[in-house]
Amino acid sequence: MENRLLTIDEFHRSGGEWMGLYNGRPFSGVTIDSREIKPDAVFFALAGEKTDGHLFIPKAIIAGASVIIYSDPAYDREFIGTETLGIRTDNVIDFMQDLANRVVKKIKIPILAITGSNGKTTTKEMVSAVLNTKYKVHKTNKNLNNHLGVPLTIFDLENDHDFMVLEMGMNHAGEIARLCEIGTPTAGLISNIGTAHIEFFGSQENIAKAKTELFDYLRKHHGFLFVNADDPFLLKRLTGNNNTMSVFYGIKNREASVKASDVGIGENNAYKFNWKDSRSGKKGFVQLSIPGSHNVLNALGAIAVGLKYDADPEAMSKALAGYHPDDKRMQFKKAGEIELLIDCYNANPDSMRAGLTALNELQIAGKKIAVLGDMFELGTHTDSMHKSIGKFILSLKLDGIITVGTHSRLISDELKTYQTKLGVHHFETRENAMGWLESTVKPGDLVYLKASRGMKLETISDFLIETFSR
């Protein structure tokens, strides 16, 4: 694509040993997956845990790759007599990140980084929808938010983009700081501080410290902060920073200048609210299309961003009303006359409580059945946090609870006295859960699915759609 910012000049400046010849044509794209190689693509041959990208260098050359970055000198000879440029470097990932940084430094546009324990992808999508009303926005695709995903996002930047939204994920201290060095954000938003990846941090305080590496970077580089004033861990670390280089948003906290009021359930079981910015006096009304009270805060963060960058209030409200999630995040689907709420992209205790709260609030004709699987990366907190979900459910009014897996049995064990119409049942396998659901659910019922990604609960929703849509 002629419009792409990545050119051969950035490779010249990044060094390495050059083998073969560059064909001189514009790059068609950048990938780390050999299955995605197209003619004139750039391929980074990464040595991963499951496979080694070097093994696919011959295939990439045959597929017409323009440039291949690799580290093993044994592959030097593959480029002899070809029109594929091979660049051998000591560390392919370092080369990739340095190259991305060179690309991003070519532009002078706002770059907003978004992170958080829960809701960062939804917030990223809402923010992008709001900003798209005024700008041509380039954003992180799906959740490519790690040390590889951020560079890949940057490589897709084009000359006519005038805003970039980067999602940043982490599971160890120092990772957000490194992503900031690569992506050089000019502003940042942290959706919240929860318990995701607590296995690697030990406490929420340590998670807060790691997440706020984003704010540390921005304060050092005179960037702008968007702060969720309702999050106590964020507030504790940012006391006294509600100034001209930041804006606080929230529902409950009086420090919030962008604030929601009259929050309640509106159309299609989704939340509606009024909002007002005390600084500018601007205000509006939003009717969301996504369930869950937690999404009010996500939308409010998007509004705060939109206000900072002069988006029209009415256009922002329409953009938020039109946002529909995909990729198994609070996604409604039909299985014949049965409703599915698929929320099994990932899970941790905070997101599971938020999802169960949303389920509890839904108004439907039939019964509400929660299918809950194991939550991963909780370390020594695994047992206590699964038990805490069971205790939380005691405060809800659901008609049936199904737990699937190993650790989720602890959720069921906490519900021995829980009064439901359909009971509480634990199954070791998804297949056994499918059998129970097939024989139990009726037209008008709603089935909610929530678990960590590795549990693959979407196989249950796929089964129900196939079974009841005949």
Confidence at residue 408, expressed as pLDDT on a 0 to 100 scale: 97
Alpha-carbon gap, residue 1 to 335, rounded angstroms: 41
Q: Are 163 and 145 in contact (CB under 8 A)?
A: no
DSSP one-letter string for 371-385:
EEE---S-GGGHHHH
Residues 6+ away with beta carbon under 8 Å from 255: 229, 235, 242, 248
Specify burial of residue 380 (Cβ count, 10 A radius: 0-12, 13-18, 19+): exposed
Supply 382's token pair: 């695994």
Confidence at residue 387, expressed as pLDDT on a 0 to 100 scale: 97
Confidence at residue 198, expressed as pLDDT on a 0 to 100 scale: 61
In the chain, the largest separation of any two C-alpha atoms, in whole Å, equals: 74
Domains of the chain, earliest start first: 8-93 (3.40.1390.10), 107-321 (3.40.1190.10), 331-468 (3.90.190.20)
- CA separation (Å) from 244 to 198, 224, 277, 308, 398? 33, 9, 14, 11, 46
| pTM score | 0.91
Q: Are 299 and 126 in contact (CB under 8 A)?
A: yes
Confidence at residue 235, expressed as pLDDT on a 0 to 100 scale: 80
Mean pLDDT by 10 residues, the chain (470 residues): 79 91 93 94 91 95 97 96 96 96 94 90 95 97 90 95 94 89 96 67 70 90 93 76 78 92 92 96 96 94 98 97 85 94 91 94 95 93 95 96 97 94 96 97 97 95 93
Alpha-carbon gap, residue 332 to 353, rounded angstroms: 18
Phi, psi of 59, rounded to the nearest 5 degrees: -65, -40
Specify burial of residue 73 (Cβ count, 10 A radius: 0-12, 13-18, 19+): exposed
Confidence at residue 3, expressed as pLDDT on a 0 to 100 scale: 64
Cα 438 to the center of its chain, rounded Å: 32
Matching residue, tokens 């039939």: 366
DSSP secondary structure code for residue 33 in this structure: -
Confidence at residue 2, expressed as pLDDT on a 0 to 100 scale: 55
SS3 state at 287: strand
Q: Are 277 and 263 in contact (CB under 8 A)?
A: no
